[in-house]
């Protein structure tokens, strides 16, 4: 009887292993299907298949599948313009063992962070993410290294264009072209087309219309030769080129074509930009005032509803998740004796855990309530010193990661800034801003949330500053910052 029982247990675990392998193959198949949808510009099916893969990977405990699926979901959300949601999704990847051991996945997470930061106009954070990615790409080999460099250079060139740094844009665009030379044109047609498009934009900005035309013609030639499915920007750049040449009717035709292609691709942000572009064009050139008004109105409507459209995409994604959950609940799995015992043990552990957590939460809550009373008193004194409106404005600037935060802070607390600079005259503005948030007693979690980085990244920066200022390990970081200016403790935000 004992041998039969052991054999039964071994068979059970074998069956579970086979089922697990089947789920892993299904996850990989879903990700392949998602990639196919993505290559054809079908964003929602791409996200839906990625979410389905993520759910299956979680159910199967498939660590590699979790990391890859989360990366695909994040990519889709960023592509849909849901940048903050995409950033949140990336945090889940970093908790997997696969991420910790795979350089390429770490590189991709930084690429997606950089892209999201760039779209949120957080240029310095984006630049930092892309620079960190370059260090990781050096450790890659083969095609992964080449493709990773290509995307990195591509996003950097766009970022530098937005920042008005044309020399840097040219450098990274030419690096893209050099990097592509290992491929046949037909194997990297879309990447070549994007590079030619960006070089066309660069030379339009520099006023070299002949070179701009050459590169834009190459872009159009590749589009037609290889039937590249999603192309939106070349026509807009051609419109800008003809506008600068004074050929307004040709410019109008190119701008209209650019809008039509963005509509076909379903690019909401692209359409919004085209509406604004066309409205400005028709108004400034005086070519057609009625069209200027038409596109101005279209821009206004789309701009107002963009947030609502984002919510609709999220609702569709959430609907897909709920649907998948319902499908999973309909599948009935046989329960063995060992699974029942495991469930009971887990239930007992859960009860013990929740009792412990309740007692701990109650204690923390009592401590926070006591700290809150003290905080309110201190905040009242502080607002009386510098004025309630300035104080409120300072906190709001910090929470929105606004560059003007450091300017106002320096005005209100010059002694603190002077105290830090006396310790290290070469402090960067980003370090001063970080120290200022600590001075205002923002928690690690708050700083991570407001600056769009991970809690781990904030902790690393604190450790670096502790070394730089020789702050004792047992000293409270925020309290030490306030003591720099001889200022008493002012807990504006409760530390968590």
Tens-digit pLDDT profile for residues 246-285: 999 999 999 999 988 888 877 778 888 899 999 999 999 9
Shared domain check, 457 and 321 = no
Shared domain check, 266 and 201 = yes
| C-alpha 480, offset from chain centre | 33
What is the dihedral angle through the alpha carbons of 42, 271, 229, 181, rounded to the nearest 10 degrees? -110
Q: Rounded to an integer, what distance in angstroms lies between the CA atom of residue 151 and that of residue 364?
A: 46
User: Over 90: is that where the pLDDT of 171 sits?
Assistant: yes
Q: What's the pLDDT band for 15 if we cut at 50, 70, 90?
A: very low
pLDDT at 229: 61
User: Over 50: is that where the pLDDT of 491 sits?
Assistant: no
Shared domain check, 208 and 143 = yes
CA angle 110, 55, 346 (to 5 degrees): 110
- Can you give the CATH number for the domain in which 20 is found? 1.25.40.10
Shared domain check, 295 and 401 = no
Shared domain check, 152 and 274 = yes
Q: Give residue-wise pLDDT tens across range 207-244.
A: 999 999 999 999 999 988 988 765 568 999 999 999 99
Is 338 a member of any domain?
no
User: Over 50: is that where the pLDDT of 448 sits?
Assistant: yes
Q: What's the pLDDT band for 74 if we cut at 50, 70, 90?
A: confident
Is 395 a member of any domain?
yes
Is 342 a member of any domain?
no
Q: Rounded to an integer, what distance in angstroms lies between the CA atom of residue 366 and that of residue 185?
A: 67
pLDDT at 85: 80
Shared domain check, 379 and 323 = no
Q: 154 burial class (0-12, 13-18, 19+ CB within 10 angstroms)?
A: buried
Picking from 16-30, 143-157, 179-193, 445-459, which range would have the lowest pLDDT averaged per residue?
A: 16-30
Into how many domains does the chain fold?
2
Per-chain mean pLDDT for the chain = 81
Is 242 a member of any domain?
yes
Domain boundary among 306, 327, 348: 327
User: Over 80: is that where the pLDDT of 150 sits?
Assistant: yes
pLDDT at 494: 42
Report the SS3 class of residue 489.
coil
- The mean pLDDT value for 50-71 works out to 87
- Which tops the pLDDT comparison, 133 or 8? 133
Domain boundary among 327, 353, 383: 327
Shared domain check, 35 and 172 = yes
Is 493 a member of any domain?
no
Q: Give residue-wise pLDDT tens across range 406-419.
A: 899 999 989 988 98
Is 223 a member of any domain?
yes
Shared domain check, 128 and 69 = yes
pTM reported for the whole predicted model? 0.53
For the chain, the residue count is 496
pLDDT at 354: 59
Domain boundary among 309, 327, 345: 327
Handedness of CA 373, 374, 379, 381 (dihedral sign): positive
User: Which domain range does residue 469 map to?
Assistant: 365-484
Is 340 a member of any domain?
no
pLDDT at 133: 95
Is 341 a member of any domain?
no
């Amino acid at each position: 009887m004992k041998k039969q029982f052991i054999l039964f247990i071994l068979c059970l675990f074998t069956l579970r292993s086979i089922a697990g392998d089947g789920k892993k193959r299904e996850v990989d198949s879903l990700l392949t299907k998602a990639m196919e949808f993505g290559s054809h510009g079908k964003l929602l099916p791409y996200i839906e298949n990625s979410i389905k893969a993520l759910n299956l990977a979680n159910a199967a405990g498939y660590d590699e599948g979790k990391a890859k699926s989360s990366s695909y979901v994040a990519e889709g959300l960023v592509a849909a313009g849901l940048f903050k949601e995409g950033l949140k999704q990336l945090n889940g990847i970093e908790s997997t063992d696969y991420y910790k051991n795979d350089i390429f996945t770490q590189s991709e997470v930084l690429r997606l962070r950089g892209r999201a930061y760039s779209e949120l106009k957080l240029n310095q954070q984006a630049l930092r993410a892309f620079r960190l990615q370059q260090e990781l790409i050096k450790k890659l080999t083969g095609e992964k290294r080449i493709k990773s460099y290509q995307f990195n250079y591509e996003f950097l060139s766009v970022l530098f264009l937005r920042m008005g740094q044309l020399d840097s844009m040219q450098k990274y665009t030419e690096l893209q072209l050099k990097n592509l030379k290992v491929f046949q044109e037909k194997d990297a047609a879309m990447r070549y087309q994007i590079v030619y498009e960006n070089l066309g934009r660069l030379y339009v900005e520099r006023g070299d219309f002949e070179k701009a035309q050459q590169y834009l013609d190459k872009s159009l030639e590749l589009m037609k030769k290889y039937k590249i499915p999603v192309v939106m920007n070349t026509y807009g750049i051609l419109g800008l080129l003809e506008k600068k040449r004074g050929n307004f009717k040709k410019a109008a035709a190119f701008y209209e074509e650019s809008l039509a292609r963005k509509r076909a691709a379903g690019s909401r942000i692209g359409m919004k930009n085209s509406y604004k572009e066309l409205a400005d064009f028709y108004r400034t050139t005086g070519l057609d005032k009625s069209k200027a008004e038409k596109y101005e109105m279209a821009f206004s409507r789309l701009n107002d509803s963009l947030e609502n459209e984002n919510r609709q995409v999220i609702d569709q994604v959430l609907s897909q998740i709920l649907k998948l959950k319902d499908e999973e609940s309909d599948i009935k799995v046989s329960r063995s004796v060992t699974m029942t015992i495991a469930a009971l043990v887990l239930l007992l552990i859960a009860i013990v855990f929740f009792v412990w957590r309740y007692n701990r939460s109650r204690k923390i809550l009592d401590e926070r309530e006591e700290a809150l009373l003290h905080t309110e008193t201190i905040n009242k004194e502080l607002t009386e010193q510098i004025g309630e409106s300035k104080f409120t404005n300072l906190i709001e600037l910090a929470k929105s990661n606004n560059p003007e935060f450091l300017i106002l802070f320096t005005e209100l607390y010059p002694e603190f800034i002077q105290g830090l600079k006396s310790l290290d005259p070469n402090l960067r503005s980003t370090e001063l801003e970080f120290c200022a948030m600590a001075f205002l007693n923002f928690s690690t979690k708050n700083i991570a949330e407001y600056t769009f980085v991970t809690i781990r990244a904030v902790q690393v920066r604190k450790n670096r500053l502790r070394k730089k200022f020789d702050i004792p390990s047992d000293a409270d970081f925020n309290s030490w910052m306030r003591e720099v200016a001889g200022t008493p403790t002012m807990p504006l935000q409760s530390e968590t």
